[in-house]
Each structure stands twice: as C-alpha cells, then as structure tokens.
Amino acid sequence: MGRNILKSSVENASFSIIFQILFRCITFVLNAFIIRHVGQTVLGIMNVRLLLLESTILFLSREPILKACLTDTKSHNWAQVINQIWLTVPLSGIVSLLLVYVWTNVLSTTEETYLKQYYLGCYAIAVSCIIDQMTQCVVLVSQSYCFVKLKVVLETIYIVSRTIIFVVLVIQDPDQAINAFSLAQILSSIVYCLSHYLFFYWYIYNLNKVKEQNKKTSKDQNNSIIKDNKKTMFSDMQDFPFTSILDFFPGFMENKEELLNKNLGLLTFSFFKQCIVKQILTEGERYVMTISPVLTFSQQSMYDIVNNLGSLAARFVFRPIEESSYFYFTQMIKRDVPITNQNQKSVAEASIVLSQLCKVVTSIGLVVIIFGQTYSHTLLYLYGGRVLTDNSLPTTLLQFHCIAVLLLAVNGVTECYVFATMNNQELDKYNYVMVIFSVTFLVISYVLTNIFGPVGFILANCINMTARIFHSIYYIKNMYKDTMYEPLKGLTPGKKFVLLLVLSGIVTKISELYLLHKSIILHITIGGVCFLATGLVWALENKDLMRLGIDKYRRRSSLKME
C-alpha cells in the first residue's frame, strides 16, 4: 500500500467522527420532524422495525466477508478478493427473502392504517440492501487504499439525499410517511452506488494517463511531472492494481490462481458465526421489542429517541475510533504468528496505540457518566420539550445510558483489538463464548424488562458489556504476558482527573437542585465551566498524548501550506 496506515487510520477516525456528528444531527432533527408531522407510531415502525430489518440483512450478508477481506490487504490477490466480495450480493438476496418473510408473516403486525405501507417498506429495505451490497467492492478498495475523504463525502451525499427525498415527500403527503421512507431508501442507495463507480471510473482513467506519461519520460522529467497538483494525488498509487472499471466485477481481472482464496473463506466463515451472535448483542433490545410485545410502537419510538441521545458519544466518537482501530491493528499484528516472533517495532507501536486508545475512551466515558447524571433532564427538555420531561422515565433511561456508555467505550476498543488479532481457531472458540453471552443477554433482557420496564434493556446491556470486557482483558493480558508491554494500563485514569470529576459531579448536582428551575442558562454555564476545568486537568495529566496530537496537526497543516 502506498499510504501510511496509521496516518490514514487517524484521518479515517477524524473524518468519521465529523460525519457521525452530521448524521446524528440530521437524524435528531428528522425524528423531531416525524413526531410533529406523522406521530410516534410511525417513528417506531421506521426506526425500530424497518431499520432493524436493514441492520440484520446487512450485518449477516456483508460484515463477515468485508472483515475477512480487510485483513492484510497488502498481500491480497485482488482478483480473488473481488470474486469473494461479490458473494455478498446473492447472499443478501437469500437473507432478504428469509427475513422479509419473517417480518411480514411471523412478527406482530402494525395497525391496519399502516399495514400496506409496512409491507412495502419491508420489500424496499430488501432492495436497498442488495443495491448496497453491489457497492461493497468499491467500498473495500477505497478503504484498503485509504481513500478517507471519499468515504466521508459519499456517505454524506447518501444521508443528505435520503433525508431530502423523505422530507419532501412527507410534506406533500404526511399520511404516506412510510412509503416516503421506502422510496428514499431505494433512491439514496442508487445514488450511493453510482457515485462510487463514477469516482473510480474517473480515478482509473486519470491514473492510467499518468502511468503512460511516466513510461514516456525519463526519471528527471517524471519528477517534474509529479509536482503537478493533479498528478500528485496519483503519485503514491502507482501500485494500484485496477486498470479498468470492469476489474471491479467478478471474472474480469486477470487471475492465475484459484477462483476464491480458501484462507479468506475460512476466515469469513469464522466471522459469519461471530457476526450472528454480535448482531444479537448489538441490537438485542430491538429484537426483544420486536419479537415480544413488551412495548407499543409509540413506546418503542420514545425509547429509540432516548437511546439515540444516550449513545451520542458512542456514535460520534467510539464507533469511528473502533472502525479505524480495527483496520490499523489488522495491518500491524499478524493473526497466526506469536507476538514475540513478530516485528517488534510494529508490536511496540500497536501496544502504545492500544494503551492511548483505552485512556481516551475511558476518560470520555467517565465524563459522560458524571455530567449525564445532572444534565439528562436538561438535554431532554431542550430536545423534545415537555413531551420528554413530563414523565420521569425518559430522564431515568438517559441517566442509565450514561453508565452504559463507559462500558460500551471500553468494550469497543478492547474487543476490536481482540477481533483484529485472533487467528481462525481462536475466533471459532470465541464464537462459542459469544453464543453464551448472547443467550444470557436475551434471557436477562426479557427478565429485567418485565421487572424494571425499558430500564431493564440498559441493565442487561451493562451486564453483558462487563462480561465481554473481562474476556477481552484476559485475552490481551495473555497475549502480552511474555513481553514488556502493558497496553491495558491505559484503562486507569489519572488521580487528579478523577478527583475533579467527582467535584464537578457534586457542583452540577447542587446546581440542578437549586438553580435549574430558576435559570437553565445558568445551570448550563456552570456545567460548561466544570467541563472545561476537567478537560484542562486531563490535558495536563496527558501532556505526551496532547503534544503528539498537536505535532501531528502542525505537520499536516504545514504540508497543506506547502
């Protein structure tokens, strides 16, 4: 690969965080728009039932193959990889047929008013998922060759186009909101697919021109050509293996080996078993809500709103970090080689990165817990007004979510490292552990939900996350036991930082009790001051990490100016 892996992983995380913020902002505004124009029941059908169908189809048919194909991309026979990634298309078709049948014939139906729209929505989700799988080949290539900005731009176009189409159609006819949602899903998927292929058509055309010019010129002349801005973007991609847009389709690229890579096939199968379990763990509460009539569609929509607000940090920061970290660790650590026999420079760098990641996400999680306990009510009031604050349940849900955020953060980073470094045998063994986790989680969710209501979903998640964290810590400790590295030390926050967090929690709680009913602005101001003070103390305790980040930013800025 022609580009620096760590640099691209950091850029990917940074741009993804920005994208997630944009996406969440659009989603929040859209949810508020739906509640005011078409009601909570429609929001529950779309955001819980239909999006759960989409999530399940994509996760089962795409995630295992994509994860396997991202492993050690430097050594890929790309002809085999292209053939393999296109298997997601027929696989998604089979999965869609099975799941659409379950969603329309087995699960509890909606009100008669929305039944026809609901059926159409299920089929529309299936079609959009198949279109999405046709894009995965170019998505894989863009990620493998570090086209970071391309990912952000095209995903932004996808989200914005889907939102605009939906809003325009709903304004014209609010009674057909689910049909508008269905049409927006299909049209935006087509836009997303065509955008990728058009970009790479343009990119390969220009790259081929640069290669032809380089062949005709001497080395000295070639150096002057590379200085041209247009050619600079191609100068470090001379090893790009695709020479035609047709190479992205199965059977067109020259291949002297077998049709498919057996090792990637075995790895895909391991990930497939793992993904079934992980999907249950990720979307467990939605499956419980969907299969068992614990909550009405209206109540599901309220839970979904609070869940989204409670997951701000996870969606804005943790998930992009996990995605980029997974790619980074797969390139730095080899799965089938003991860590003592690997390149020690790569091992040392990976250990430091893991430690710093643990430190960052743990600190963010602790901040969310402390400030979430006193500002949950304020946040809900600002977002939804008295609809969300007249009842104490949404505030309680959000406060419990804040506790879950810390566990979610730690589990995300540690488990991402585990999945990136386990070999096939270890992945297979872990699949059985995940089965135990998933079954236990579903049982606990059902029991606790019947006892505590919606709060039971969050409590079950906390128990499940804690168990998974302990398993990941055991694996990482065992992996580094014969080395001098201790990457898990990053899970322990600084004493001054913790002390100031406790003081901030006390001050903001007093503010909530005595000042909130008088002035919400004053209450928010006090929280802002406490937050800035806490951030300053954390920065002073982690000078090396801050200095590294500042140096990286300065180097990047100076390169842009040049």
Q: Give me the mean pLDDT over the 522-540 stretch.
A: 92
Question: How many distinct helices (H) and strands (E) make up the chain?
Answer: 25, 0
pLDDT at 238 over 70: no
| DSSP-assigned letter for residue 1 | -
Q: What is the pLDDT of residue 5?
A: 55
By the 8 A CB rule, do 261 and 81 touch?
Answer: yes
Kindly state the tokens that stand for 64. Answer: 């295992």
Question: What confidence tens digit (pLDDT) does each residue in 1-28 have?
Answer: 444 555 555 555 555 656 556 666 666 6
pLDDT at 219 over 70: no
| DSSP-assigned letter for residue 107 | S
Q: Where along the chain do its domains lie?
A: 1-282, 283-493
Question: What confidence tens digit (pLDDT) does each residue in 462-488 have?
Answer: 998 999 999 999 988 888 887 888 888
Residues ≥6 apart with Cβ < 8 Å to 298: 39, 40, 41, 44
State the pLDDT confidence band at 367, using cuts at 50, 70 and 90: very high
Cα(237)–Cα(338) distance, rounded to whole angstroms?
Answer: 32
Q: Which amino acid is at 81?
A: V
Q: Which amino acid is at 334?
A: K
**According to the per-residue pLDDT averaged within each range, which of 52-56, 261-265, 445-449 is highest?**
52-56
Quick one: CA torsion of 310, 313, 314, 317, rounded to 10 degrees? 160
Question: What confidence tens digit (pLDDT) does each residue in 434-449 have?
Answer: 878 878 888 888 888 8
By the 8 A CB rule, do 26 and 163 touch?
Answer: yes
Lowest-confidence region among 470-479, 485-494, 543-552: 543-552
| DSSP-assigned letter for residue 227 | T
Q: How many CB atoms lie within 10 A of CB 89?
A: 18
Quick one: CA torsion of 228, 232, 234, 239, rounded to 10 degrees? 120
Residues ≥6 apart with Cβ < 8 Å to 318: 361, 364, 408, 409, 412, 413
Phi-psi region of 423 (alpha: psi -120 to 50; beta: other; left: phi over 0): beta
